[in-house]
Amino acid sequence: MPNLPEIQERIDAAVDQASKRLAEANRRIWENPELAYEEHIAHDTLCEILEENGYEVTRHAYGVDTSFEASFGSGGRLMIFCAEYDALPDIGHACGHNLIGIASLTAFLASASVLKMTNQPGRIRILGTPAEEHGGGKLDLLHAGAFEGADVALMSHPMPHHYYHETYGTVGAAGARLVAKQSKVAHYHGRTAHPAANPWDGANALDAVIAGYNNVSLLRQQMHPDQRVHCAIIDAPKRTNIIAGQTSIAWQCRSPKISDLHKLADRLCSCLQAGALATGCELDLKNETAYSDLLVNDTLCALYQGHMASYGQNVLKTDPNYIQASTDFGDVSYALPGIHAMFCIPVSEKGVVTHHVSFTEAAGTEEAFNICLTVGKCLALCACDLLEDDTKYNAVVSDWKIAKSGST
Question: Per rule CB under 5 A, is residue 363 in the interface with Zn ion?
Answer: no
The residue with its CB nearest to Zn ion is: 95
Stretch that binds Zn ion, among 90-98, 139-147, 194-202, 329-337 (CB under 5 A): 90-98
Using the rule CB under 5 A, is 294 a contact of Zn ion? Answer: no
CB closer to Zn ion out of 95 and 372: 95
- Taking the least distance from each CB to Zn ion, the nearer of 25 and 342 is 342
CB under 5 A: which stretch of 95-103, 281-289, 334-342, 356-364 binds Zn ion? 95-103
Residue 97 CB, shortest distance to Zn ion, in Å, is: 6
Among 14, 15, 78, 95, binds Zn ion (CB under 5 A): 95
Nearest CB to Zn ion, comparing residues 134 and 257: 134
Does the footprint of Zn ion cover residue 36 (CB under 5 A)? no
Stretch that binds Zn ion, among 94-102, 169-177, 195-203, 367-375 (CB under 5 A): 94-102
| Residue 157 C-beta: closest distance to Zn ion, Å | 6
**What's the alpha-carbon Rg for the chain, to the nearest Å?**
23
Interaction between residue 152 and Zn ion (CB under 5 A): no
Task: Tell the smallest beta-carbon distance from residue 17 to Zn ion (Å).
Answer: 29
Find the shortest distance in angstroms from Cβ 96 to Zn ion.
7
Sequence-distant (6+) residues with CB within 8 A of 350 are 162
Comparing CB distances to Zn ion, the nearer of 114 and 176 is 176
CA–CA gap between residue 168 and residue 315 (Å, rounded):
9
* Residue placing its CB nearer to Zn ion in the complex, 30 or 188: 30
Looking at beta carbons only, is 95 or 103 nearer to Zn ion? 95
Going by C-beta distance under 8 Å and a sequence separation of 6 or more, which residues neighbour residue 152? 77, 79, 80, 300, 336, 337, 338, 339, 383, 386, 393, 396
Stretch that binds Zn ion, among 7-15, 23-31, 91-99, 197-205 (CB under 5 A): 91-99
Q: Does 42 help bind Zn ion (rule: CB under 5 A)?
A: no
**Residue 176 in the binding site for Zn ion (CB under 5 A):** no
Candidates 88-96, 225-233, 316-324, 373-381 — which segment interacts with Zn ion by CB under 5 A?
88-96
For residues 56-75, which are near Zn ion according to CB under 5 A?
none
Contact between 231 and Zn ion by CB under 5 A: the answer reads no
Between 84 and 385, name the residue whose CB sits nearer to Zn ion. 84
Contacting positions for Zn ion (CB under 5 A):
95
